Structure 1
Amino acid sequence: MEEKTVVFNEAQQSVVDLSDGWHACQAPAGSGKTEILTERVRKALEDGLPPSKMLCITFTNRAARSMIERVTARMGERTKNVFIGNTHAFALRFLEENGCLPRTASLIEASTETTLWKNAHKRTKERLRDLGDDACQEILAPFIKRLESLIQAPFNATSKHIERVFWYAEKTEWDAWNLRSIASLLKTVLDPRLPPNIDSLREHTKSRLQVVDANISENDLGLASALALMIWDQYEQEKRELAFYDFDDLLVLAYKKLSSPEPCKLRGFTWAQIDEAQDLSPIQWMILKAALAPNAHVLLLGDLAQSIYRFLGASIEVTEHEFGHSIYTLSENYRSPANLVNAANILRSTFLGDSSISTSVHPTNPTAMVLVTRRFETETRDLLIKHAYKVTRIDNINAAFLCPSNQGVTNCSDSLAAKGIDHFTVGKNDLFTKRPALDFLAFISVLHNPRNRLAWSRLFWRFGDLSKIPLAERNNYPPLLASAHLSAKLAKNGSELRDFLVPDVKHHYLAQFLNHANRTVTYFDTETTGLDPNKDSIIQLAGVKIKRGEVRKEIDLYCKTNTPLGNSVEVHGITPDILNEKGKEIESQIYHFLQFNASRPLVAHNLPFDDAMLRHHLKKHFPQAYSAYKKLPKYCTLDLARRFFPELPSHKLGWLLTHFGLEGENSHNALDDVKAGSALMAKLAETAESHLVEISEITKPYADSLQRFSDRFSTLYAQATEMIQDEVEVNIKNLIDLYFSHVEKLSNIDYDDVDKKELITKLIRHAEQSFEPAPLRDYLQVAMPFYQTAKESDLITKLDRLVVSTIHRSKGLEFDCVLIPNAVEASIPSYRIMEQCKSHSEKHAEEGRHLLKEQARLFYVAFTRAKHQVVVGSHRKQMIKGKTFDRYLTRYMNPIVAFFEKY
């Protein structure tokens, strides 16, 4: 692959050439940071650094994907084992590699997390309402004790506090205090899974706790924190029951394992570069440092002037400390014209105390800065829309409305829609939190991973119409959680929701397995030249007929092949001499096997592999028998063993035989293996029988919903799984058409047309730019890691000529023209922050001043997204609930307004 040659300036080259020590690089917008990151990966690999010892951390999925594409284009397969991703992706990979997550664990997205929190909130209120004063004090005591361990001061639950608790419990909604934010802050540092040596994190949490909610007085802070912990405990309890994990769990569990003395994989990185370092939270810093080897070479890249995620836990104070003393600065700007860059310098100097100067490599653009001011906001917005429409008619020019608030996004998007102007909106309610997206992603998730219990729970809720079940029969759970709890109870008995996708749900998968096990089945196995059904060949095909656990007949067939045996001989011991002596043409051997089986149910250990091998050869040599073969009932003893005995450290056939004291030998000779497998099958049938009564009891309240689920979803699922088996080539449009054309026929699932159209348009447009058509299994293997953690802004492509977004969600993007509407006081900075600065509490007032400075950074971020032009919109009057208020141009424009062309 021909490598791209990049010429760096002196400052950039100095950073590229760093190869040891801990360094930081202050990299303002447009300074060529991405090329530096890519070149450093190339250089490290050229210098012989093992890819597995290299760690590249980015902030967003979009940035990670962009980095992977760049380094792969530059260096090809050499970068395969370099980790590139955000901190949560690293934590997830680390936990999976080290076996720290149960096989049945499900990572929950934001909407499910909110559902869990609301349910915990509700149940905590109900619990408190039923308590007397003494019982209330007793219940609060352990939470107060944990809180005191953090704040290192006594907090006594006085009668006044108890009254406040009861007052709170009687409220319809607990929205006076932001208890969820308090819990999010506290749960990391007070999580019992964390090691005790986290003093720096405790100090950070303690200081943040005192200012997390300006509505909470100092007198009420302890009580609010104790209540938040109480709700969090309920949330955690339910999460554990359901085997759910949230993104905070990933960080906590990863740090716990990384900080232990036990040996583990994905630790001891000797080379690391951290992009957008100013956006990391304290625990993310801790994880990264724990993952590094002593004396590792580390480069931090970021821009303190773009630190705008304080509400997500990022701390500019921590970042400044971690930057240390060896700081390089990139001063040349390759993105924007000189006058835009000079104005950005003034913003940094005036409001952020940063005297560093960036210089542009581009000349001044006389139209780079425009200020549009009218009497009312709507008048200004109309002019901005006209301008945006005009510039985006020019080839290869894009524009973005970057709004200070979610309401601003809504206003701009509604105005554009009213004028029929196509645009990409990144709104308050992310597309991936809406029902069409959640349901569709659940559908393709179970195709990608049939054991995804959260996805199955959602599908059962939606297609089984759980809302028809009385609330009391659902144990007062909302539908999704009722479904998830049913799934969890089934899992304890070796069953899954997908088992009920049968014509009559009384005869579900395990009932059918037991029924067939008591009759006659064929247990079969293959030995092959390799693992790829499309390239490798079957060289041994063996089977035994089993009736009620007894072996009745056996067949052992060796198959000639022209495919080299390679290293497979070391596994199965079948040599060319054996094949020359015993082998026959594969067509005749498969024919003999089909005659031997005589359309009986098939069983195998690791069925997906043996089934795929046999199907491939059937399609090739006996296409007339392929359809009948696909319809045969099939069971996998590996899958059943994992269901019934999930706690076992291994589910390999030989290990299970030894563990249960069963007869047989797992020699990797197909005939030996199937004889051994028959003993395991008898054990599994006995276990299944012991669970059937409990499964019947568990599912009794849900019988009608399970039947609706089967009637409405089984056809769709069968179509999709057949596409996987037949290796049908697909793209995202095929999957969307398959799902939504099916759902349109159902009366119980009705999507908002706008939400559905938006999802379909954005997904197809993005996927066509990002993923090549491929066989369904392969397509999902590539696409699902992206979709599982994607945000709406990740779907923006070069075809989206006009974007409407909050400034926060535009981080990392760039546009030819940036329009900043509503750039007035009380919008940026926000009215809430302006009022907080006036608080009687000095702590809250001080936090307000920190937030005010962050608002300046927010305006700076919007300003520096522009490649060619910034258009700022302001107005003099604003109507709020029928009253007119005066408005003034934001203070952040004061030092640069003279450079703007007035319109």
Structure 2
Amino acid sequence: MLDQGFHLVLASAGCGKTHILAERVNSAIDNGVTPDDMLCLTFTNRAARGMKDRVAAIVGDASKDLFIGNVHRFCSKFVFENNIVSQTSSIIDEDEIFSIVNSLTSYISDNKDIDLSDVDFEARARFKALVQIQHLMCQYRLGHPKEVIINNTSDYINKEHNKRFFSPNLFALICKDFGKNVSIDSLLEIYDQSENFSQIKDLNIQVRELMLLLSAARKYERYKEENNLVDFDDLLILTYSALRLNSKQYKKYSWIQVDEIQDLNVLQLSIIDLLTAPDNVTIYLGDEQQAIFSFIGARLSVLDKIKNKCGNGNIHRLEKCYRSPKYLLDIFNGYAQNELGTDPLFLPVPVNDSIPEYGDLKMIYARTSETAPACAVKTTLSYKDGKTAILVSSNNEADKISGFLGDIPHFKISGEDFFSSEQVKLIFSHLTVIYDDINYLAWARILYHLNVIKSFSISRNLLMKMKQAALSPSDFILYEDSSYVLEFIKTWETQDIVVFDTETTGLDVYNDDIVQIAANKYRKGELIESLNIILETEKEIPEKLGQLNNPLIEEYNRREHCVRAVGLREFLNFAHGCSIFGHNVEYDLNILYYNCIREFGDKNPCFKFKNSYDTLKLSKLLFPKLHNYKLGALIDHFNLDGENSHLADADIVATYNLALLLYEDAKNKEDNVRNILRNYKTVFDPLKQKYKELYISAIDSLHSVSDSTYSPLVKEISRSYKYFQNIGMQANSKMKYLKSFLANQVVEISSNDSLHKELSQYLVDLNTFKEADLCDNEIIEEQIFVATVHKAKGLEFDNVIVYGCVDGTYPFFASQYDPESRLEDARKLYVAISRAKKRLCLLAYDEKIVKNKKGQTYRFPATPSPFIDHIMNTNNFITLREGVDDLS
């Protein structure tokens, strides 16, 4: 039992790590560790979901309070829950980052309409360097120690070029050229002024190139700041900074386990260190033979650091392999020993002693790199059972093989991810805006993908103007020549308003009871009537609200109770014909609705209100830069009278004062709002025409309780996919797998499910899925897969064809003289071969054919990868040659 201190558990593929992780959770809970004090982190969504499923199967409902997810998901939750970023911030992915930087600068490409998937290797390297240097400058500005810097060097190497984009030596050179001391402060000063410095003509070529890079990175950084955008590395940087500067302010975990430790970078590891309580048990699990993610900052040195922290006595190994038969495990172990330098004492032993049949292990030599894809396809079709994967080293190879497969059903995992496709982006953006209609980035995607705006960058910039004017595209759909803010102004000035709040037995709008209703009625700013009632309840009132004692318990015990039906009707009569105001009023109205349904049946009088306005939404529209929109935070920020006491009668006073401030600000912006509405009406008319029907029907059904066991979320995805197809969106054959994946692997159906409830649970996760997440399930009908090695990591297949086992690929030609890179390429090939469960084929070719940009053809002799020499010399591989042997 590992129940104290730091421990490292090393295990090869198939040794039962996930099962052990789940059993450890169960054991800890049985021994009194509360799930709230436990943290389970891993590298991918797929690994996290596998761990979640195992844990849930063993411990049941106790796992719901336990965080299981990857580090980025934890950091996203952390920065939003702790108001480190604005609640109106959006997280941008790689495609969106590229679109932004390419619209801001010509550093990457002169073609402003090009997509990331279409740029060449050098342009992609420039893009990578730009993003890396922006994060580096951010880390320098925040004072991060050098031990947690993700990247301080960036290179681009191919057969024609060996280019260094930035490095400490280049930074020193640039400081000297500008007559400054060589220091981080000097570098940051140059960076902040880089747009001006980059125009200086007498800079040498190296410095000028670096200045152009710094200038482009600074533009990207400023754009994110101005528009409340964060990327995935920002989540790590901001989380680390908050934990480092205010360590005592945030929760520490006494029981932690971290999977796939070899894939984490130094910053992720440091975040975990800062989350660890002094008296703790922390278990790291990993496989040093599968460390292949250095291109995102993961280094094998991270594993060495963990080994030193744990000490020799706390390093453990799982010895039995349950997945691979002996004949395959002998190959994997021999490779690990000879190419990766693994101590044979640490290699796993097989549980399955089965022997191979003829052809289960083979080496195929194609004549040329041009005929090799056809050989791979023939070999694939020769396998009569099980799932087959052709694993390649590059997206280009995957595309080529997919082309050769043609109409043969197969599933490709490379290049543009399915979750980055137009169809998924549009549907997920639709889900986002019906849940949060002032998510401007999601609206920008909708405008672009519905061809309302011709480019994503123009769409994004237009939405930023909307944001500055306190407008949402929904205003153009829902109102004629008006908006939410303008309707609020008119209502405030002309109608009786009721500011109300509820206190309840919980947050479940469908089942929990309202215990207190308080309301004040105003006419032209004068308080004319008040209501404050306590409703009887048989449900338990929670003792705590977070860390605070719940004041509702004392209030309930002190006050007289009203019969539920009588009290609810009293409020409805009080507010009849008035406009309703509240902070997060949607919650209060929905719990009121379902309380009334239980008391009055289907004849529900809730709809006698004129309309409703949410001070939470208004605050986000009118003050989009704030980090925290909770009522108490807004009271403090604006120095308003009132308090957020968690008693309804006190909260409504604060809510009214907030609404009054919002009215005054809205009034100042009224003319600008009207001008923007008038000027952009024709731009948004096509949006209204194309999207209004779907948008309004989705909004209307948002809180409807599902009458079946079918997920409302999956139902809305199906409905919106069909709707968008009907107005011109192309079909995507993989969409059926998304729906099956969500229905069977992600969404847990429960009673009283609604679209709103499921979006609140799963919307963040939807935007983090990758195509490979679909492949770890039985939902994929295709039996043939084409994947890059990086995307196949963590997957397993009955039959594996490792394509391109030649020198120059394994190892990559640029790694030949770099021992660290060469070793990583060896680990990459290990990952490829160890995906096999039954049959393994290595495919090489005798001649490589290359065409340059001018269309000229060059032929080079090719030799097998030096990494496979030992495999071929010591195992029962049959050798087949194209044109000589039958490959089918």
Shift of 1:257: 1.6
Shift of 1:552: 4.5
- For the Cα contact (< 8 Å) 1:501–1:508, is it kept in 2? no
- The answer to which of 878-887 and 793-802 deviates more is 878-887
Shift of 1:235: 0.5
Partner Cα separation in structure 2 for residue 173 and residue 879 of structure 1: 19
Amino acid at match of 2:163: I
Matching residue of 1:143: none
Q: Which runs of 5+ in 2 are unaligned?
A: 111-118, 165-169, 171-203, 545-549, 852-856, 881-888
Matching residue of 2:399: 410
- For the Cα contact (< 8 Å) 1:52–1:82, is it kept in 2? yes
Matching residue of 2:586: 608
Partner Cα separation in structure 1 for residue 366 and residue 624 of structure 2: 67
Among candidates 472, 482, 486, match of residue 511 of structure 1: 486
- For the Cα contact (< 8 Å) 1:731–1:772, is it kept in 2? no
Matched, 1:537 2:513: yes
Amino acid at match of 2:47: A
Could you state the TM-score of these two structures normalised by the residue count of structure 2? 0.81
Amino acid at match of 2:38: M
Residues 658/771 of structure 1: CA separation in 2 closer, same or farther (3 Å cut): closer
Matching residue of 2:167: none
Structure-to-structure mapping, 1:318-337, within 5 angstroms: 318-324=302-308, 325-326=311-312, 327-337=315-325
Residues 69/124 of structure 1: CA separation in 2 closer, same or farther (3 Å cut): closer
Matching residue of 1:742: 723
- The answer to which of 218-227 and 435-444 deviates more is 218-227
- Aligned-partner SS, 1:116: helix
Structure-to-structure mapping, 1:637-656, within 5 angstroms: 637-645=615-623
Amino acid at match of 1:478: S
Matching residue of 1:160: none
Matched, 1:277 2:252: no
Residues 34/763 of structure 1: CA separation in 2 closer, same or farther (3 Å cut): same
Aligned residues: percent identity? 25
Matching residue of 1:875: 845
Matching residue of 1:400: 389
Residues 883/762 of structure 1: CA separation in 2 closer, same or farther (3 Å cut): farther
- For the Cα contact (< 8 Å) 2:18–2:50, is it kept in 1? no
- Aligned-partner SS, 2:768: coil
Question: CA deviation digits over 1:246-300, x for unaligned, max 9?
Answer: 1111111111122225522233x34433322222222223222233344744333
- Aligned-partner SS, 1:757: coil
- For the Cα contact (< 8 Å) 2:485–2:618, is it kept in 1? no
Shift of 1:862: 0.8
Among candidates 235, 238, 244, match of residue 259 of structure 1: 244
Matched, 1:786 2:751: no
Could you state the TM-score of these two structures normalised by the residue count of structure 1? 0.80
Matching residue of 1:895: 870
- Aligned-partner SS, 2:841: strand
Amino acid at match of 1:808: H
Shift of 1:234: 0.8
Cα RMSD for the two superposed structures: 3.7
Residues 342/224 of structure 1: CA separation in 2 closer, same or farther (3 Å cut): farther
- For the Cα contact (< 8 Å) 1:26–1:328, is it kept in 2? yes
Matched, 1:116 2:111: no
Matched, 1:25 2:9: yes
Partner Cα separation in structure 1 for residue 6 and residue 305 of structure 2: 13
Residues 625/29 of structure 1: CA separation in 2 closer, same or farther (3 Å cut): same
Partner Cα separation in structure 1 for residue 428 and residue 808 of structure 2: 39
Among candidates 37, 41, 47, match of residue 21 of structure 2: 37
Shift of 1:452: 2.8
Question: CA deviation digits over 1:500-545, x for unaligned, max 9?
Answer: 33241x2111111111222223415354552333323345556555
- Aligned-partner SS, 2:757: helix
Residues 277/529 of structure 1: CA separation in 2 closer, same or farther (3 Å cut): closer
Matched, 1:68 2:49: no
Shift of 1:315: 1.6
- For the Cα contact (< 8 Å) 1:489–1:698, is it kept in 2? no
Matched, 1:372 2:351: no
Matching residue of 2:174: none
- The answer to which of 638-647 and 737-746 deviates more is 638-647
Matching residue of 2:352: 362
Partner Cα separation in structure 2 for residue 48 and residue 781 of structure 1: 30
Among candidates 851, 855, 863, match of residue 833 of structure 2: 863
Matched, 1:459 2:446: yes
- For the Cα contact (< 8 Å) 2:88–2:620, is it kept in 1? no
Shift of 1:698: 4.5
Question: CA deviation digits over 1:478-511, x for unaligned, max 9?
Answer: 2243134224423xxx44333333241x211111
Matching residue of 1:232: 217
Matched, 1:241 2:226: yes
**Matched length:** 802
Among candidates 338, 345, 358, match of residue 350 of structure 1: 338
Question: CA deviation digits over 1:453-476, x for unaligned, max 9?
Answer: 3212322444471229xxxxxxxx
Matching residue of 2:498: 523
Among candidates 183, 203, 207, match of residue 130 of structure 2: 183
- For the Cα contact (< 8 Å) 2:100–2:457, is it kept in 1? no
Shift of 1:865: 1.1
Among candidates 786, 805, 826, match of residue 804 of structure 1: 786
Partner Cα separation in structure 1 for residue 4 and residue 602 of structure 2: 65
Partner Cα separation in structure 1 for residue 622 and residue 502 of structure 2: 27
Matching residue of 2:694: 716
Partner Cα separation in structure 2 for residue 35 and residue 739 of structure 1: 38
- For the Cα contact (< 8 Å) 1:549–1:678, is it kept in 2? no
- For the Cα contact (< 8 Å) 1:32–1:333, is it kept in 2? yes
- Aligned-partner SS, 1:869: strand
Structure-to-structure mapping, 1:95-110, within 5 angstroms: 95-110=79-94
Partner Cα separation in structure 1 for residue 317 and residue 630 of structure 2: 55
- For the Cα contact (< 8 Å) 2:340–2:827, is it kept in 1? yes
- The answer to which of 100-109 and 593-602 deviates more is 593-602
Amino acid at match of 2:762: A
Structure-to-structure mapping, 1:544-583, within 5 angstroms: 544-552=520-528, 570-571=551-552, 575=556, 579=560, 583=562
- For the Cα contact (< 8 Å) 2:88–2:625, is it kept in 1? no
Question: CA deviation digits over 1:808-838, x for unaligned, max 9?
Answer: 1111111222122333334433xxx32x35x
- Aligned-partner SS, 2:824: helix
- The answer to which of 178-187 and 235-244 deviates more is 178-187
Partner Cα separation in structure 1 for residue 411 and residue 489 of structure 2: 53
Q: Which runs of 5+ in 1 are unaligned?
A: 1-16, 127-171, 469-476, 838-844
Question: CA deviation digits over 1:545-597, x for unaligned, max 9?
Answer: 533223445666776666566769942866489556xx3561x6655655555
Among candidates 431, 438, 450, match of residue 444 of structure 1: 431
- For the Cα contact (< 8 Å) 1:279–1:315, is it kept in 2? yes
Residues 238/782 of structure 1: CA separation in 2 closer, same or farther (3 Å cut): same
Matched, 1:703 2:681: yes
Among candidates 491, 496, 501, match of residue 472 of structure 2: 496
Amino acid at match of 1:37: L
Partner Cα separation in structure 2 for residue 239 and residue 483 of structure 1: 15
Amino acid at match of 2:700: E
Partner Cα separation in structure 2 for residue 237 and residue 386 of structure 1: 53
Residues 435/49 of structure 1: CA separation in 2 closer, same or farther (3 Å cut): same
Partner Cα separation in structure 1 for residue 504 and residue 272 of structure 2: 42
Amino acid at match of 1:279: D
- For the Cα contact (< 8 Å) 1:405–1:806, is it kept in 2? yes
